[in-house]
Amino acid sequence: MGFNKLFVPSVDSLKEELLAKGNEQFFKDWSRRYVKADAVLGSEEAIDFIKQFIAGEYDIEESSSFSNEPAK
């Protein structure tokens, strides 16, 4: 079994990718990667950008899978 790490680029790179690909493709790409990751590495701002996009754009309520907080 492997350990899946997700390296998140800068917020500026994410914004450029969003503009180039559009909401639907950006969501497909990043939501799939984010959910499968065992560890997410990158700036807090970039990780928050992805989480807010997924939660806000698609009305997904933030849960423990999107939170930096440990599960209770």
In angstroms, the CA 8 to CA 11 distance is: 9
Number of C-beta neighbours around residue 30 at 10 A:
21
Its pTM stands at 0.73
Number of C-beta neighbours around residue 47 at 10 A:
19
For 5-26, write each residue's pLDDT tens digit: 999 999 999 999 999 999 999 9
In angstroms, the CA 48 to CA 1 distance is: 28
For 37-47, write each residue's pLDDT tens digit: 999 999 999 99
Domain positions in the chain: 7-57
